Amino acid sequence: MDLMWGLAVVGAVCIGWILLKMLWTCWCGFTTFFLSEIWRVDLKKYGKWAVVTGATSGIGRAYAKELARRGLDVVLISRSNEKLQMVAEEIEAEYGRRTLTIQADFTGGGSIYPVIEEALRGIDIGILVNNVGMSYSGSFSQFLDVPDSELKISQVVNCNMLSVTQMTRIVLPDMVKRGSGLIINIGSEIGARPYPFLSLYCATKVFVRYISLCLDSEYRSKGITVQCVAPLLVSTNMTFNCRVNGLVKSASDFAREALNTVGYTNYTNGCVSHGLQASDAQEMLCSLSDGRRQSQVHEGLHPQLVNQTQPEVILLLDRVRREGI
């Protein structure tokens, strides 16, 4: 009888712990995605200016316009001067905010950063959005099959990793002096787990995730918030402008919802639909292999698993292109 009573107590404690974790998860999701719609952080408290990299299209352009709508002047940094001028004119006409444009190609390495640093000198930068990023020419492939791999590998590393590191180095010192600042690093849910045939892109997004979490821990006591935003599918050029639906967000809606989460969490999928999808992403990846191989996703991807998944991954890409899933 004592044994049965003891087992019952252990079972009750375990169930109670599971229920508490579920309630805590639900509460965190509710505050992050719903209460944040009502009680938004005033982004102007961080400073007068926001800097956005990759600001001429997609998520970067949407962040730039949303920040302007919320009362900040915006520094736009991107490769195309023509597109920079177009976005700057849109922001000034629609929101009456000041803009500054800096032309820079982030794929080329470290030579651009002294120029950017000089252009930003003396500007009251409260927010940095490290958005610029790229993948392999819009296709899945094995690492050695990437077209023009010597050049492409350097471009992806420079654009996705070096840009985050160097732009943070440039703006962070003044933020620390003021005791206030916000750095938003746009990562990807792909950085949360291994994805075959996107190996380098996946690895760069892991870097974005962990440098964000580490910097937030290091500098939070100095008044700096560092947030990593890890979206799933957003309708942009990188995702073939796939059709917007319940799972795929438009860039403007995503930027608005993601900015609402500032001050509530240092890591977010940006919107509630992406948060729900992310919770199932591990199961989706595991379903590409049989039950015997599922544990290998955690232990390291076996070559046989990679060969098994290739047809399914390619079919998924085709569906994204054709149907906008």
What is the set of active-site residues? 201
Question: Alpha carbon of 51 to those of 76, 127, 217, 230, 317: distances in Å?
Answer: 6, 6, 22, 19, 33
What token pair was written down for 30? 């509710």
Query: Identity (one letter) of the amino acid at 46?
Result: Y
Of 206, 193, 208, 207, the C-alpha closest to 299 is 193
Alpha helices per DSSP H over the chain:
2-30, 36-38, 58-69, 81-95, 113-120, 149-157, 163-178, 199-219, 251-260, 272-286, 296-299, 303-323
Give the span between the Cα atoms of 239 and 246, in whole angstroms. Answer: 16
CA dihedral (206, 175, 52, 107) positive or negative:
negative
Question: Alpha carbon of 254 to those of 84, 87, 244, 249, 261: distances in Å?
Answer: 21, 18, 11, 6, 11
Question: Alpha carbon of 139 to those of 134, 279, 311, 315: distances in Å?
Answer: 12, 25, 13, 12
Query: Identity (one letter) of the amino acid at 243?
Result: R
CB atoms closer than 10 angstroms to residue 6: 10
CA-angle at 185, arms to 217 and 104, nearest 5°:
130
Q: If 0-12 CB within 10 Å is exposed, 13-18 middle and 19+ buried, where does residue 85 land?
A: middle
